[in-house]
């Protein structure tokens, strides 16, 4: 026989999945993610440097939806602006690193510390990891292809904007879906 707390967990899980809105939410978020992926992929295919790495850029757009989309409009809107702000900060720090620092692991470590401190200084302390993620993605793409870092930074910014925009629209239209954002008693 299973311990009581495990049986309770099973019961709670069954109870949550017994409501149809859990399924509606899952399908809705999946549709948003797929839309961002497809738009990100199409954008990357017309971009000046991609092709082979378009899938990664599309995944970056898709993952951004999950970062932005929240259960209500206000939280979604706040998340959209925080995501875009942290992206712009990550882009700025990445460009500083790529243009003015030698490409060495210790210099990258120093720039990561700088990015985390800057995110706290400008009020994005809860988004510091996202700033660093943007920084690292741009650095990685800049090492994978010989394109100008400005082009890589612009591509990543547009991919984030695609995902953030879809997440924002999803948060606004999602409120009108029946049962999607209702609280359970």
Residues 53-108: tens digit of each pLDDT: 778 889 999 999 999 998 788 999 999 999 999 999 999 999 999 998 877 889 99
pLDDT for 71 equals 79
pLDDT for 148 equals 82
Assign 119 to helix, strand or coil. helix
pLDDT for 72 equals 84
Which distant-in-sequence residues (6+ apart) come within 8 Å of 151 by Cβ?
Answer: 48, 49
User: Could you give the C-alpha distances from 171 to 77, 93, 107, 132, 168, in angstroms and in order?
Assistant: 8, 29, 39, 25, 5
Mean pLDDT of 163-178: 87
Better-predicted residue by pLDDT, 69 or 175: 69
> Which percentage of the chain shows pLDDT scores above 70?
84
pLDDT for 44 equals 83
pLDDT for 10 equals 64
pLDDT for 184 equals 46
Single out the residue of 92, 95, 84 nearest to residue 139, CA to CA. 95
Decide if 149 contacts 99 (C-beta within 8 A): yes
Q: What residue ranges in the chain does DSSP mark as E strands?
A: none
Q: What is the mean pLDDT of the chain?
A: 84
In a 10 Å sphere around its CB, with 0-12 CB exposed, 13-18 middle and 19+ buried, how is residue 104 labelled? Answer: exposed
Question: Cα separation of 61 and 134, whole Å?
Answer: 12
Question: Cα separation of 159 and 42, whole Å?
Answer: 10
Reported pTM: 0.81
Say whether pLDDT at 182 is over 60: no
Question: Cα separation of 49 and 46, whole Å?
Answer: 9
Using pLDDT thresholds of 50, 70 and 90, give the confidence band for residue 166: very high
Better-predicted residue by pLDDT, 46 or 15: 46
The segment with the largest mean pLDDT, out of 1-5, 155-159, 165-169, is 165-169
Quick count: other Cβ atoms within 10 Å of Cβ 18? 8
Using pLDDT thresholds of 50, 70 and 90, give the confidence band for residue 37: very high
In a 10 Å sphere around its CB, with 0-12 CB exposed, 13-18 middle and 19+ buried, how is residue 63 labelled? Answer: middle
């Amino acid at each position: 026989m299973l311990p009581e707390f495990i049986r309770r967990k099973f019961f709670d899980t069954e109870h949550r999945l017994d409501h149809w809105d859990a399924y509606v939410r899952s399908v809705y978020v999946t549709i948003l993610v797929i839309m961002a992926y497809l738009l990100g992929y199409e954008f990357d295919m017309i971009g000046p440097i991609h092709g082979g790495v378009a899938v990664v850029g599309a995944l970056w757009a898709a993952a951004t939806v999950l970062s932005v989309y929240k259960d209500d409009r206000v939280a979604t809107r706040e998340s959209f602006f925080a995501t875009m702000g942290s992206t712009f900060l990550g882009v700025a720090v990445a460009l500083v690193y790529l243009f003015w620092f030698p490409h060495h692991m210790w210099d990258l470590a120093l720039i990561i510390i700088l990015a985390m401190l800057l995110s706290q200084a400008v009020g994005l302390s809860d988004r510091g990891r996202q700033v660093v993620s943007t920084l690292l993605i741009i650095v990685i793409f800049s090492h994978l292809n010989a394109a100008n870092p400005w082009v890589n930074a612009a591509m990543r910014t547009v991919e984030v904007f695609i995902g953030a925009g879809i997440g924002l629209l999803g948060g606004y239209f999602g409120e009108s879906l029946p049962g999607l954002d209702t609280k359970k008693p």
